[in-house]
Structure 1
């Protein structure tokens, strides 16, 4: 019991520390299960994938937001997805943290340093937050992994449905009522392949 209370205090302390922390320019900091994780600025391939995805979102139906901190209920996590997609009708008027229950989809673009976080850690965090769709865009393996049907809680949370779509094929984003054209998505050269998902 004492250890749990101590952990809760420590995790709240980390969230408060993150609120006041200013990472160096070009560095992204996020809280993942009580651990502050910092990442270097993204590759051009990454930024172009995010841009091509944003441009396919009809703004009258969906707001694709970058650099938006997300509050995951019941989690000591404040991830910053590469893209958060939600309906403009549920958008709050202000606030640094966007509650996960308002979000329809999150997108992460894999880098050579974020493979494990994107495929494992964030998969369970976003599922725990009951975010209906999590799209992993992987320019290392030239495919997308669409995860839907979140279930469970905490580190045991997961998505029941997983679909792998290679670059060039459309991704059926049923949660958004559209197909994502991936034909413009670039790949990262000279990065060793991995074994995820």
Structure 2
């Protein structure tokens, strides 16, 4: 079974070029996070059902809901692959990858035992540095949603100034999308040790 693996490069620009040509093994997701290639196994059914549930609630006539789409973060040696990327339909490019971060309205990550630190710390800073307006962490370990908005700062010092936590089962206002997210069907992981993030 694959676990998160890190390969570090001395030159981050060289790592970005390497990553563009990198082909991970089948069933493995690879992301470039600040010059580090992070590989994780395919997600489980709880994860996939949450992503599908969120996607179904976002109106497709206004937004493209993209899975496994890598995002180019300006000024960073980073190409994260969020579980869901939400983009206004009228600004979606006709083709190509990665998707420029300036086009992104919201990114969604569903945390797992192996991704908690990356989702709550590393990616929080990376998405804020890329000025992604909203970052939603859905956490089936702790049965909560963490909505981060108002990105500020640069590089590793970047962060979101606003944080709203909602327990699974309650509705979550997503003003940026003009909707209330119903979390009542979100599943949780059994037998996973609790964590202390955010």
TM-score, normalising length from structure 1?
0.95
Partner SS state of residue 25, structure 1:
coil
Measured in 2, the distance between the counterparts of 1:179 and 1:16 equals 40
Measured in 2, the distance between the counterparts of 1:166 and 1:30 equals 28
- 1:49 counterpart = 2:50: yes
- 1:183 counterpart = 2:184: yes
Partner SS state of residue 187, structure 2:
coil
1:114 match: 115
Deviations 1:74-133 (A, max 9, x none): 111000000000111111111111010100000000000000000000000000010110
Structure 1 moving runs of 4+ over 6 Å: none
2:134 match: 133
Measured in 2, the distance between the counterparts of 1:143 and 1:97 equals 29
How do 1:69-80 residues align onto structure 2 when only pairs under 5 Å count? Answer: 69-80=70-81
Deviation at 1:53, TM superposition (A): 0.4
Deviations 1:149-180 (A, max 9, x none): 00001000000000100000011111111111
Partner SS state of residue 177, structure 2:
coil
Partner SS state of residue 155, structure 1:
helix
Deviation at 1:9, TM superposition (A): 8.0
Root-mean-square deviation (Å): 1.3
- Kindly tell me: are residues 91 and 56 of structure 1, through their superposed partners in 2, closer, same or farther at Cα, counting changes over 3 Å? same
Measured in 2, the distance between the counterparts of 1:133 and 1:184 equals 22
- 1:157 counterpart = 2:158: yes
Gaps of 5+ in 2: 1-8
Measured in 1, the distance between the counterparts of 2:111 and 2:100 equals 23
2:64 match: 63
Deviation at 1:11, TM superposition (A): 1.3
Number of matched residues?
Answer: 191
1:4 match: none
- Which structure dedicates a bigger proportion of its chain to strand? 2
